[in-house]
Structures are given as structure tokens and as C-alpha cells.
Chain A
């Protein structure tokens, strides 16, 4: 019998497995889905291993301007300011200060992200916030519940700049930039990045972490529970695997409602889990171009109104007529994100992409439905639980579960739906495994 079974072989499951192995315990990782090519998000130093490379294009953002040309934002704050100056002298002047203030708040979050979420009434957390000083504190308190659009309107006047940043704030979220709580997301995806960079990097963490771990490809059919204690898993093949601990990186609804037999959990919790919002809103396209473009990245989100209107379609379960697009090129192969394409909605996804890109040779579209099938993302939502303020920090994904431990003894949750989740590579798994190990 192994000490632990980890369900899921992406960053979080693997980070959890590595922590457990480091503590001298045996682990089997059950891989249910095809591995993803890259790991999205910043890899914290505690989690990264030798050889991990985070890839962030420079410029990290090239936003297409409606009047022609592009706005380029660079990893170098001053260079970005120079680029912004062509659109607005005022905005160029404010950019460095904006970057500095955001970076300061992001550092506070960074501390919070490699530990279980603070309690809502945790005095230590309160004191930490007070240490930000009056301006930092006011920034944080105003910023958390704020719409990204309002934050950006406070600072800037250029539509192109606000549109591009606004689109980043609502990535993979069924909200628009005018929705409250989206400014926080700009900050969330900023964590771990250098000042002035608001796009999460991609890395080879998953591929690297998979080696050296006992990974089994199988489908989990049930988590076995005896007398309130998880005893192992039953695979689709009928085979039973036993372990002292089960760590599931699958989404909490699947883990606790679908895989566990009814009756073990509080029906009120089950009801709450059914209401965890996980709505996939982005389709992903793998495009092969006739020839490699001269850019590494290209973004279409020309204004906040544009992004907001794209969201309006999604509210009524329609694919955006004018979507937000974001392309990353690797030679002639381009990976494009198309938002909004709500789960289950039908619409022309490839057409809009063709208009943005140079001549296309081949295109493969993955709608949220297909992403669900390929990667097990509930409703195609890569974060497993939308990262909105009510599903973040101490309430991620639900307050009863925010400590990684499920109500079933020996069953732990370690997927992206847990704090901090949503694109901080492996951090949920890392935090979960450490919380588990502390109980031994």
C-alpha cells in the first residue's frame, strides 16, 4: 500500500507528489488526461526545480490598434512608458507609478500564496495589511472589490492600454472588465512577475515534474470510503488501489460529489459544491500559419468597451461576435485564446481568428466542451473554480474547504480550485501537501 494517491498529473498534482516524496513517503499519481503542453502561470521558487524555465515574450504584450500599428508593453517599465507615450503622454507618465503600486500589493499576495489562505478575521493578516502603510492599505481595500475598468479609468486615458489590461483581468472569467472584483485578478496574475508585467508566463514545470514521479495512466471511477475514512480509489478498470491518503487535483465537485458515494458528506456542502461557479468562457485554437510571423505575441482587445461588449454576448450564452483574442507564436505554430466562447454555445470561432492572423494553413479549435473532455476542466474552466472574489482566498473554492482538507478523513483537495490556484503553478498542490504533512 502506498502512502498517498494523487489524482491528476498537472502542476498541482505533481507539486503535491514532490512534496510528499520529499518527506520520504510513497506516492502514485493517477493521470486521467492527456498532459498539457505547457504549464500556465508563475512557478514559485519553492516549487520550481532545476531546469524550470519560465517563458515570457518581450514585449509581453502587443496590442493591435484599431487605427493600425501596435502598442507594445515590455518587461522594462521605461521602455513600455516610451511605447505608451505615442498614445498618451499622460499615461506614459503614470505607467511607472502604476506598476510600482501594483507590484507592492502583489508582493503582499505573494506571501499569502505559499501558505493556506488566511482566515477572514486573522489578526496577523490584518497587521500585515496595516504594514502596507496608509496608501498601500487604501489601495488594497479599494482595489479588491473594484472593477478593473474603474481602476484603469482612474489611471489611464488610452483605450488601447486599458482594453489590453482589461482583457487580461477577465481572462477565463464569466465577467467583463466593468464587473466588481476584476481589478483583484489583474493583481493575482501579476504576482510573481516583474513590475509592469501583467501576463502570467508559461513554463515547462509540468513536463519536468512528471519525471521522477510514479505516474499511472488510468481513470478514477470512485474514491472508496469506509467509516468516514478514504481508503483508496477504484479505477475504471475495476482495479482497487489502496492508500492512506488521497489527494485530488480534480475539481472539488467531481472529487466530492461524483467520486465519493452519497451520504458521507453534509448535504448542505454537496449543494454548495454544485454551486461552485466554473464556467469555461474561452476557446483555444492551435493554428499553423503559412510562415512564422515576426511577432511572438499579438492581442486584440482594443478598448474596455470592446471587451465589455464581447462579454455581453457571453451573458446570454452566445459566442462573442467581436471576441478578445490573444496569440502566442512558436515559429509558424500559434496558440490563440478566444474569449468569450461560453460552454455549450455555438459560433464561429475560427473566422474571427483568421481575420487577425496572417494566412492560415491549418487550424484546430478546442471549445470549452472539448477542453473539458481533454483536460477534465469542469465546463472547460481551466481554474476549476472561477477566480472571482467570492471564490478566492479564504473562500476558495468554498469556505468549508479552503484548508485543503475535505470532511472525509484522508481525502485532500489539491487542484487549481484551491487557494491560490488559478495559474500559480503548483501552489495549490504544494500548500495542500504541506498542510497534510503537518498533520502527520
Chain B
């Protein structure tokens, strides 16, 4: 049987679409309403509530906790302040990405790391001989993500303290102890709320109750997928193959190739994958993960040729789509869709050098009336949507 999250009692009652999807062995709602449209707009207009409990979560505590995490991830964990959250990928010895997630420093020697894949064995093996304890708290900690311009107002009404971008703090929601971090997967202003499994439902209820006045709505994975593409955020198994699942070398990616070079701190003497990454940096990455935007006129013309109005995907897609320059395939897009907010057809793509340079003109394959065509596209800046409120 699949697992259900601590919020399942609530989410199941709300899931009018009966559209569920799997996430790390759990069932979660794809959308609550019959279409995900309203759920998407609520992210950008009010506040959307996501159940993100299926994330893997590990608590690392002890004298060497910072040392271990600093060894495992390419970002500098030793320098992280208490209450700071770092987004980071992590790599194998060859500098290829295994997973990505957040590292939250909850205390001097207390961290919580979240990940998309199980990482207990990896953490434990690398911690041999260190003075620390690693606990898998994936099932015991429930997590909600409250995203959108009204998110802060809702939390404020519940008495939460103000919080800066990528910070975490302890708080109480109606007397239930929680941790709130200003993080998320939508590229908007947003928070993630972490709590014991046992107190999951009261927190959900409190947020929904107070949130009514601010237009809160539970939202599912379809809406989230669109938002994260607009935010230019990659998704494991969709946009990259984690090193442990790669069957052949060409499926591997380094942080540099995923546009995560900024997370790699080569000033650190030691971390897993450092040597390989230093070499890659010196060489220059041969691939880059970029945003591309399809040109509306080109799309319109391709459809007009067969007598149709332009057809757009109603939800985000996740598959491999070839990208060309001239006659040559120079890369592939891995997720994309129509941004209802930007009114643009956008996609995230892996491109070879030199085609990943900003502004490069490309063509992306699309299927128009059963025929493969190529629509004009160009490399644009990521995130596609980056409101100042996100960090404000």
C-alpha cells in the first residue's frame, strides 16, 4: 500500500477531482478542484497551501553535525548562521549531482536536511567516526508549504514572528510548536511549516480558518509544477537524473551543468566531489540548464498553416523534447508549459555550449496535428517570474 501523509484526512475530503499522484511512496493530490487553474492563480494572487510532507527529512545533531554536512554538500555549511537555510545540491565523488534539498541550521550542532530521495545510508556512511546522530524524521515530521503574496499576512495573524528570506525560526500556531522557514518551491513569497506528525491537523485547520479571509486555498501538484517552472526551479527525475539512478555516464549532471555553480564553494578544502568540480570549473561546463521562451508568432504560424488557432498545453509537461539550432540538435527541454501569468510558452532546457548563451535563437520541437514541427525559441533569463516580494 502507498503511504498517506499526516494531512490525508483533510486533503482526501477536499480532493474533488480524485486526481492523486505518487510522491516518494505517498499519495498526494494532483489537484483538488476539477482543474488546477484556480489553484495556480491562488499562488500568485493570494495564498496556496501545499502538503509537502513526503519530502525526506533527516535530523543531524552532534558536535560534528556541521562538519558532516559541510563535507557532504558543496555549499559552506560551517559559515551558516543559526536560523539560516541553505538550498544546495549534493554530489558523488565524481562531482555528479545525487540529490538537492535544503539544509537548515536549527542550532549550533543541530541541522535538518531535506531531500527528494532517501539519503540515510549516504549520510551515515560519510559520518563514520564522527560524533553525531542522524535520525530519519521523514515520517515523524509533517510539512506544509504556504505560498503566495498573502502567506505572510496569514502567518502574522497567527502570531508568527517576521522572517527573512531563507531563514527559519521556531514559533507557535495556536499553541502548537512549529518551525517556520521562509522557503518554497514557487518562486514567490512563501513559507514552509514543519511540525510533529501528531499536531498536523490542528495546524492545517488553523491555517485554513485564518486564511479564509486572505483567500487561502489548498493546492495540488499540478499547480505547483507550473509555478516552479516559472520560478526556474528544477525537479529531480524530471529535469535531471540523480547520479545513483544514471544507467550511463551521459545521464549524469554536475551542479555547473544545472546552473547551480553558485552553490559550489571551491574555497572549502574538502567536500565530496570537490576535485572533480574544481577541474570542471577550470574546463568550463559543456552543458547548461537554461530557460527558453517560445516565440508566439512562430507558434501561431505553425498552427495557422494547418488552419488551427494556437493550441497550448493546459498543464506543465515533463518529457524530453529536442531543441535544435540550424539543423543540429543542441539540447533538450525537460519541462515546460504555458505560463498563465506571463502569457508565454516557457520551458527548462539543457543546452550544449555555446548554445546556452543568453539570447541564442533556437528551435524547439512541437507536434502540430500529428506532425513534428520546430517552433522558434530563444534562451532567456531564469527565473521567468521573479517578483521582488519574494525576498522583501
Contacts and interface: CB of A to CB of B under 8 A. Distances in A.
A–B touch (CB < 8 A): the answer is yes
Interface of A: 227-228, 257-258, 261-271, 274
Given A228-B275, A265-B93, A271-B125, 16 more contacts: A227-B269, A257-B128, A261-B270, A262-B130, A263-B71, A263-B271, A266-B93, A266-B94, A267-B92, A267-B122, A267-B126, A267-B272, A268-B92, A269-B93, A270-B128, A274-B128
Interface string B141-182: 000000000000000000000000000000000000000000
Interface of B: 71, 92-94, 122, 125-126, 128-130, 269-272, 275
Contacts of A228: 275
Contact of A267 (B125, B129, B130): B125
A274 B125 CA distance: 10
14 contacts: A228-B275, A261-B270, A262-B71, A262-B126, A262-B128, A262-B129, A262-B130, A265-B93, A266-B92, A267-B93, A267-B122, A267-B272, A268-B93, A274-B128
A262 B93 CA distance: 12
A264 B270 CA distance: 7
A258 B128 CA distance: 10
Contacts of B270: 261, 263-264
B82 to A, nearest CB: 24
Nearest to B121: A271
Give the 5 A-B CB pairs with smallest separation, nearest first: A266-B93, A263-B270, A263-B71, A267-B126, A271-B125
A258 B125 CA distance: 14
A406 to B, nearest CB: 14
Contacts of B125: 267, 270-271
Nearest to B130: A262
Among A261, A266, A267, A270, find the residue whose CB has the most chain B CB atoms closer than 10 A: A267
A228 B71 CA distance: 15
A259 to B, nearest CB: 11
Contacts of B92: 266-268
A284 to B, nearest CB: 31
Contacts of B122: 267
A268 B93 CA distance: 8
Contacts of B275: 228
A257 B270 CA distance: 15
A263 B73 CA distance: 11
A327 to B, nearest CB: 41
Contacts of A263: 71, 270-272
Contacts of A261: 270
Nearest to A268: B93
Contacts of A269: 93
Contacts of A268: 92-93
Nearest to A265: B93
A72 to B, nearest CB: 51
Nearest to B94: A266
Among A257, A262, A266, find the residue whose CB has the most chain B CB atoms closer than 10 A: A262
Contacts of B269: 227
A270 B93 CA distance: 11
A258 to B, nearest CB: 8
A269 B92 CA distance: 11
Nearest to B274: A263
Nearest to A266: B93
A261 B94 CA distance: 19
Contacts of B126: 262, 267
A269 B275 CA distance: 15
Contacts of B130: 262
Among B92, B125, B271, find the residue whose CB has the most chain A CB atoms closer than 10 A: B125
Nearest to B275: A228
A265 B93 CA distance: 8
Contacts of A265: 93
Contacts of B94: 266
A73 B130 CA distance: 54
A264 B269 CA distance: 9
A228 B275 CA distance: 8
Contacts of A271: 125
Contacts of A270: 125, 128
B276 to A, nearest CB: 10
A302 B9 CA distance: 71
Nearest to B64: A262
A266 B269 CA distance: 15
A226 to B, nearest CB: 8
A261 B272 CA distance: 13
Nearest to B68: A262
Among A264, A266, A270, A274, find the residue whose CB has the most chain B CB atoms closer than 10 A: A266
B69 to A, nearest CB: 12
Nearest to B71: A263
Nearest to B127: A262
Contacts of A267: 92-93, 122, 125-126, 272
Contacts of B271: 263
A257 B125 CA distance: 11
Nearest to A226: B269
Nearest to A269: B93
B227 to A, nearest CB: 35
Nearest to A261: B270
A325 to B, nearest CB: 38
Nearest to A271: B125
A122 to B, nearest CB: 24
A162 to B, nearest CB: 44
A227 to B, nearest CB: 7
B252 to A, nearest CB: 14
A269 B126 CA distance: 11
Nearest to A225: B270
B267 to A, nearest CB: 12
Nearest to B129: A262
A264 B71 CA distance: 10
Contacts of A262: 71, 126, 128-130
Nearest to A258: B129
A274 B92 CA distance: 18
A264 B274 CA distance: 9
A313 B269 CA distance: 49
A370 to B, nearest CB: 25
B318 to A, nearest CB: 30
A270 B271 CA distance: 14
A262 B270 CA distance: 9
Contacts of A274: 128
Contacts of B71: 262-263
Among B93, B94, B129, B130, find the residue whose CB has the most chain A CB atoms closer than 10 A: B93
B179 to A, nearest CB: 29
Nearest to A263: B270
A408 to B, nearest CB: 11
B295 to A, nearest CB: 45
B121 to A, nearest CB: 9
Contacts of A264: 270
A261 B275 CA distance: 16
A268 B273 CA distance: 12
A271 B94 CA distance: 15
